[in-house]
Amino acid sequence: MFWLKLLLLIFLFVFFQKTFEIMMRKRLQVEKRNIFSYNHVNKKHEWVDWTIRIIFCLIMLFLFALRVAYYPHEGDWGEELFSISIAFVIVSEMARAMMEWKYKENKNEAIFTISQLAFGLILLSTLLLTNGWGLFG
């Protein structure tokens, strides 16, 4: 039953996110983005993005080393990894929005990026605060 609930939860999350994306894309008149490619606005954005990625990887390695050195018997560090991943997404998407606002003609692309990020964070927060929208509570 757990796996069925998890699949339903994933389906609902993707459904809500995709529906919001379609509505916002039409409202803001923004082109559809490719799902599995990360298009940089320009070379500066590419440099900033890779810098953010490298910094977050170094932070994860540093925290892992700290955890192994000071808490060797506590093997579960999923919460820290989850928090770092969420912080990475926020920083990366905000950098993307800033580059879109600064360098793209259509400023709605930056608004679209921020709205997608905000909606995703709201969905994730409600998911965590309600034990999977009541499915696991």
**Which residues in the chain land under pLDDT 70?**
36-37, 75
What's residue 69's pLDDT? 87
- Listed in sequence order, the residues at least 6 apart from 132 whose beta carbon sits closer than 8 Å to its beta carbon are 5, 9
Average pLDDT taken over every residue of the chain: 92
Rounded to whole angstroms, the Cα distance separating 102 from 97 reads 8
Q: What is the pLDDT of residue 68?
A: 84
Q: Rounded to a whole number, what is the largest CA-CA distance in the chain?
A: 53
What does the pLDDT look like over 49-74, one tens digit per residue? Answer: 999 999 999 999 998 888 888 887 77
